[in-house]
Amino acid sequence: MPQPIPTLRWEGGVDGHLVLLDQTRLPNEVVELHCRTVEDVWQAIKRLAVRGAPAIGVAAAYGVCLSLNSSGSLPLAGRVGEGVRSGYPALSPLPSPPHQGEGTGGNNIEVVRLACDYLATSRPTAVNLFWALNRMRDVAACGLAPEQLPQALLVEARAIHAEDAAMCTAIGQHGADLLADLPVGTGILTHCNAGALATAGEGTALSVIFELARRGKRPHVWVDETRPLLQGARLTAWELTQRNIDCTLITDSMAAQVMRQGRVQAVITGADRIAANGDSANKIGTYSVAVLAHAHDVPFYIAAPSSTFDPSIATGDQIPIEQRLGDEITCGFGQRTAPEGVNVYNPAFDVTPARLIRAIITERGVIKPGADL
Ligand code: MRU
């Protein structure tokens, strides 16, 4: 059974708006979030109402469409946050959004450019965000008549959306082919959420698992809860349960024990950015899992679309790592669990070196880290 509401969808035509499944409220509430301005989308990305590298890219592309949308003249405050009980700490102050709904004539291109610059400040690590925004910038720069631009932008955003869904399907098939020899009931560990909630399709890592299930392999998924924001517990466990996939939730620190007990035959995670040499950034804790997998001779795979590759940087050392507020650790979900004033380090991602990655499963096939796509 697929999830009850799509992760993201565009409602209406050029003057339409973006509707997101608000992931801060899962698994307790299934609630849609209506984004009608660029700032709404920026906020939704920043506070992880929409998250996961591919989904962030798709949402941002639709966000650019909103920059020329006449409904953008509505007051900004109060809509995204309305009634939200996410348990997430408050955000730091916003950079100024571009003027919206005023894009007439030649100003349209400038409005789009400013919207892209603004959305690019929402989160730094997932390269899919910048990849999608570059595609939208290219549409704005291709010399269309100003009145044609809104439609052209929407066509491009829809294309990015559809391509991502197709890439997920292909990743699932290539991954299931790769793991075809694993026995029925095999144990697969995953970290964070790289499922339908993180993409416009069935996901990357979870797409492989869903395809294995369709092929009768009955995988058993070990779900790392994924501190501090619990994407594994709140989102991956929810998705797997929705689809009747056998799974067991563990805290992140239990991964070594289940591997030692021989319960894990493969690890598959997503990625937020893959450098030219194959070093891969993903949710904080992924690197530890890769080290553990190596120590227990368990193959560690990354599943990611080509939009996650950043050939412009040589190694993972150059991947910008998002630093998030310490409150996520000391006061996550509204419950204080550490003394006031304690120093906190809260990087949202880490980098797994290519040498620990057995293979990267892409929509174009399975590659060894560092190979040309
Ligand atoms: O902070 P998040 O929830 O956006 O982090 C998401 C991840 O790290 C995912 O594993 C990654 O984006 C791949 S999603 C297909």
Whether ligand 1 lies within 6 angstroms of the CB of 219 is answered as no
Question: What's the DSSP call for residue 11?
Answer: E
Check residue 89 and give its pLDDT: 40
Check residue 352 and give its pLDDT: 98
Residue nearest (by alpha carbon) to ligand 1 atom 13: 270
How far apart are the CA of 282 and the centre of ligand 1, in A?
6
**DSSP β-ladder status, 359-362 and 365-367:** antiparallel
**DSSP of 29-69, one letter per residue?**
---EEEE-SHHHHHHHHHTTSS-SHHHHHHHHHHHHHHTT-
Q: What sign does the dihedral 176-181-187-192 (CA atoms) show?
A: negative
Whether ligand 1 lies within 6 angstroms of the CB of 54 is answered as yes
Mutate to test the pocket of ligand 1, among 56, 128, 193, 351 (most ligand atoms within 8 A of CB): 193
Whether ligand 1 lies within 6 angstroms of the CB of 190 is answered as no
Check residue 66 and give its pLDDT: 98
How far apart are the CA of 312 and the centre of ligand 1, in A?
21
Which ligand 1 atom is the nearest neighbour of the CA of 349? 8
How far apart are the CA of 256 and the centre of ligand 1, in A?
22
**DSSP β-ladder status, 309-310 and 17-21:** unpaired
Q: Look at residue 360 and give its three-state secondary structure.
A: strand
Q: Which of 121, 36, 17, 15 is CA-nearest to residue 82? A: 36
Residue 133's Cβ-count burial label (10 Å; 0-12, 13-18, 19+) is buried
Check residue 93 and give its pLDDT: 46
C-alpha pair distances (Å), 133 with each of 65, 167, 366:
11, 18, 27
Residue 29 CB neighbours (<10 A) = 10
Check residue 103 and give its pLDDT: 43
Tokens 């869903």 belong to 210
How far apart are the CA of 101 and the centre of ligand 1, in A?
31
Positions marked active-site: 272
Q: For the chain, where are the E strands, in sequence order?
A: 8-11, 17-21, 32-35, 187-190, 220-224, 247-250, 266-269, 273-275, 280-283, 300-303, 309-310, 349-352, 359-362, 365-367
Which residue stretches of the chain have pLDDT < 50? 72-93, 102-104
Query: What tokens does 183 get?
Result: 């026995």
**DSSP of 257-273, one letter per residue?**
HHHHTT--SEEEE--SE
Which ligand 1 atom is the nearest neighbour of the CA of 53? 12
pTM of the model: 0.92
